[in-house]
Amino acid sequence: MDKFEFMRKELDELKEKGTYNTIRVLESAQGPWVVINGRKMLNLCANNYLGLITNEEVKSAAIEGVKNFGVGAGAVRTIAGTLTLHEELEKKLAEFKHAEAVILLQSGILANIATIPLVVGEGDLIFSDELNHASIIDGCRLSKATIIRYKHLDMADLKEKLEDYKDYNVRKLIVTDGVFSMDGDIAPLPDIVELGEKYGAITMVDDAHGEGVLGDHGRGIVDYFHLEGKIDIDVGTLSKAFGVIGGYVAGNNTLIEYMKQRARPFLFSTPLSPADTSALIKVVEILSKDDSLVKKLWENGNYIKEQFKSYGFNIGHSQTPITPVIIGEEKTAMEFSKMLFEEGVFAQGIVYPTVPKGTARIRVMVSAAHTKDDLDFGIKKFVEIGRKLGVVK
Ligand SMILES: *Cc1c(COP(=O)(O)O)cnc(C)c1O
């Protein structure tokens, strides 16, 4: 008897339906151009918004971290795994975010999973945007609180739901992505803060795609809306614009002190390596003193959007450099992505269930490391293929 027959069956089904995920392997660093199957490709897929993955200063800092501290932390933070590097990074991040305190975790997903079950539990209520990231959803499920989904960005709907439960004398949490990664739209945080205050709910934002992108020097969505100290919990990742790996939570001293006593991924899992941590200290230093990379990212994002629009592509309503090129039909979008790949452009096709039916798209992710020539090459290929497939005239 094959005990894994049930998995084999589902895998076969995925392949039949054409939704089986073939994982691309990069044979080079994650730069504006990458090598795949021995071929140089324009990379329009990565979350490496600022090009920091291959930044020379950041690479040197990682090597310094290894020279001084070796390659691993050797224990969980609460036993013997807290290095001066970890504390320095937490302090620097708190300064950068204008927050009282920061706790470092091993990834963005773990930051959500660590936090939500400490804030709410069984019998409590979570008000969650229907398009929130999977890691928020997992954190919510682990908490055992009741999850109430409100319509995407719809503050009237959120208000109605808060009103429905206003007499429940339990803890309440409103949680949202800051920037939604499939459309590039932004959560209306000022309204969320106002509703949180009115209904006595804790407010939490996951700023994975706003970090290094939004606000002054890329300080993120809280800075962008001038809500320092008003959003209760600000979760971030260090693996997207920051270019390395890791996650963190910025908040008030009580929350962070409590998390250092109780958050399970903090207590029961070894922290970031010296190389990662040292690299990240350098990233925060670079962003704190220089906003040219953030400016360049927006310049590139605005340029590619204008160009796509001028050729008649539907690019949705992104408020960030994330640029969805909406094709509509799933099959056409997959074909589009495949043809781009054949022409040397690596851009991800995204279909149902990741996005609603009929809105299949190619998601274009530019970075500060792309030159105008790089972008022009990509645009030219989009237009050629778009015309061939009848997506644009
Ligand atoms: C990518 C992402 C995460 C996960 O971050 P990792 O550091 O890669 O674990 C969490 N939340 C959101 C909204 C994301 O986009």
DSSP symbol at 78: I
Structural domain contains residue 326: yes
Q: Taking Cα atoms as reference points, which of 315, 238, 235 lies closest to residue 282?
A: 238
Structure pTM? 0.96
208 ligand 1 Cβ < 6 A: yes
For CA atoms 110, 115, 120, 125, give the dihedral sign: negative
Q: What is the pLDDT of residues 230-282, one digit of tens each?
A: 999 999 999 999 999 999 999 999 999 999 999 999 999 999 999 999 999 99
Mark whether 64 and 75 lie in a shared domain.
yes
Q: Same structural domain for residues 23 and 85? A: no
Cα 175 to ligand 1 centre (Å): 14
The residues with which 202 forms a beta bridge, in sequence order, are 173
pLDDT reported for residue 352: 86
Smallest CA-to-CA distance from 161 within 135, 183, 192 is with 192
Contacts with 240 (C-beta within 8 Å, 6 or more apart), sequence order: 47, 48, 49, 108, 208, 209, 211, 212
The response to whether residue 206 sits with its C-beta less than 6 Å from ligand 1 reads yes
Q: CA-CA distance, 226 to 221, in Å (whole number)?
A: 8
The residue out of 271, 288, 305 marking a domain boundary is: 288
298-329, pLDDT tens digit by residue?
999 999 999 999 999 999 999 999 999 999 99
In Å, what is the CA distance from 270 to each residue of 82, 114, 183, 197, 207? 9, 14, 34, 36, 24
Q: How high is the pLDDT of residue 199?
A: 98
Query: What CATH number has the domain bearing residue 345?
Result: 3.90.1150.10
pLDDT on residue 91: 98
Give domain status of residue 103, yes or no: yes
- Is the Cβ–Cβ distance between 221 and 205 less than 8 Å? yes
* Length of the chain counted residue by residue: 393
pLDDT tens column, 332-352: 998 999 999 999 999 989 988
In a domain, 280, yes or no: yes
Describe the crossing of helices 134-143 and 108-119 by its angle, rounded to 10 degrees: 30
Judge if 81 and 209 occupy the same domain: yes
Q: What one-character DSSP code corresponds to residue 314?
A: B
User: Which residues lie below 8 Å from residue 272, measured CB to CB, with a gap of 6+?
Assistant: 73, 86, 104, 106, 245, 246, 280
Whole-angstrom distance between the N-terminal and C-terminal Cα of the chain? 56
Q: Tell me whether residue 49 is in a domain.
A: no
Q: Among 30, 49, 109, 180, which is best to mutate for testing ligand 1, by the most ligand atoms less than 8 A from CB?
A: 109
Which 8-state DSSP code applies to residue 117? H
Whether 210 maps to a domain, the answer reads yes
Closest ligand 1 atom to 110 CA: 9
What is d(CA 32, CA 45) in angstroms, rounded to the nearest whole number? 9
Q: In this structure, what token pair is assigned to residue 366? A: 């530019």
The pLDDT score that the predictor gives to residue 365 is 97
Residue 20 sits in which domain range? 10-43+291-389
CA proximity to 130, closest of 353, 381, 368: 353
Report the CATH number that the domain containing residue 85 is assigned in CATH.
3.40.640.10
- Give residue 267's pLDDT: 97
Other residues' Cβ atoms within 10 Å of the Cβ of residue 229: 11
pLDDT of residue 356: 87
pLDDT of residue 17: 82
Query: Among the atoms of ligand 1, which is closest to the Cα of residue 136?
Result: 11
CA distance 177 to 161: 18
Q: Which of 236, 258, 288 is the last residue of a domain?
A: 288
Query: Residue 20 falls within a domain, yes or no?
Result: yes
Same-domain status, 275 and 128:
yes
Please state the atom number of ligand 1 nearest to the C-alpha of residue 207: 13
Atom 12, ligand 1: residue with shortest CA distance: 208
Task: Give me ligand 1 centre to Cα 332, in Å.
Answer: 28
Least Cα distance to 38 among 29, 28, 49, 53 occurs for 28
**Rounded to the nearest whole angstrom, what is the distance from the C-alpha of residue 109 to the centroid of ligand 1?**
6
Looking at the structure, tell me whether residues 283 and 296 fall in a common domain. Answer: no
* Alpha-carbon span 155 to 192, nearest angstrom: 8
Kindly state whether residues 206 and 62 are assigned to the same domain.
yes
Distance from the alpha carbon of residue 108 to the mean position of ligand 1, in angstroms: 5
In the chain, how many domains are there?
2
**Distance from C-alpha of 248 to C-alpha of 235, rounded to nearest angstrom:** 6
Q: 124 and 180: one domain?
A: yes
Quick check: CB of 106 below 6 Å from ligand 1? no
Whether residue 39 is found in the same domain as residue 72: no
Q: Which of 253, 269, 288 is the last residue of a domain?
A: 288
Q: pLDDT digit of tens for each residue in the chain (393 aa)?
A: 899 999 999 999 989 987 788 899 999 999 999 999 999 999 999 999 999 999 999 999 999 999 999 999 999 999 999 999 999 999 999 999 999 999 999 999 999 999 999 999 999 999 999 999 999 999 999 999 999 999 999 999 999 999 999 999 999 999 999 999 999 999 999 999 999 999 999 999 999 999 999 999 999 999 999 999 999 999 999 999 999 999 999 999 999 999 999 999 999 999 999 999 999 999 999 999 999 999 999 999 999 999 999 999 999 999 999 999 999 998 899 899 999 999 999 998 998 888 888 999 999 999 999 999 999 999 999 999 999 999 999
Tokens representing 206?
A: 């996951």
120 and 211 both lie in a single domain: yes
| Within a domain: 339 | yes
Q: Are residues 259 and 305 in the same domain?
A: no
Tell me phi and psi for residue 45, to 5 degrees. -120, -20
Q: Which of 269, 215, 223, 218 has the alpha carbon at shortest distance from 243?
A: 218
Element (H, E) at 331: helix 330-342
- The answer to whether position 1 is within a domain reads no
Q: Is 109's C-beta closer than 6 angstroms to any atom of ligand 1?
A: yes
Residues 185 and 124 in one domain: yes
46 ligand 1 Cβ < 6 A: no
169 C-alpha to center of ligand 1: Å? Answer: 32
Pocket test for ligand 1, best of 129, 131, 133 (most atoms within 8 A of CB): 133
Same domain, 280 and 299: no
Q: Return the ligand 1 atom nearest residue 179 CA.
A: 13
Helices 292-310 and 372-388: crossing angle, nearest 10°?
30
Return d(Cα 211, Cα 178) in angstroms, integer: 9
* CA nearest neighbour of 236 among 135, 85, 355: 135
Enzyme catalytic residues: 181, 209, 240
CA distance 193 to 33: 41
- Residue 1 C-alpha to ligand 1 middle, in angstroms? 39
